[in-house]
Amino acid sequence: MRRLRSLDEAEEAAWVNPGDPRLWSTIREVWRLADRLAPIRFPPGVYRHRSIEEANAQAEAWEREAYTRLVASRAQ
């Protein structure tokens, strides 16, 4: 545990420099936290689209559905 006296100290303490051996474990922990707080799951499989716009529209629809499920689960 470390006592931080200012926001500047907190930002400095949270920063991991490139090349630091803790970098990869820190990235892994951030990704795990993000997955626990806001999991986004896309349907498995390979999807073919006629255009990049169609593919983007499908991805946005999946993201909207995931967001709707997240909001509903937190409202309970």
Q: Domain boundaries in the chain?
A: 18-39+49-75
The CA distance from 64 to 72, in Å, is 12
Q: So what's the pLDDT on residue 70? A: 81
Residue 1: is its pLDDT beyond 70?
no
Give ∠ CA 67-72-76 in degrees, rounded to 5.
Answer: 150
pLDDT single digits (tens) 12-70: 777 788 888 888 998 899 899 988 887 777 888 999 999 999 999 999 999 899 888 88
Q: Which two tokens stand for residue 69?
A: 């499920």
- At 52, the amino acid letter reads I
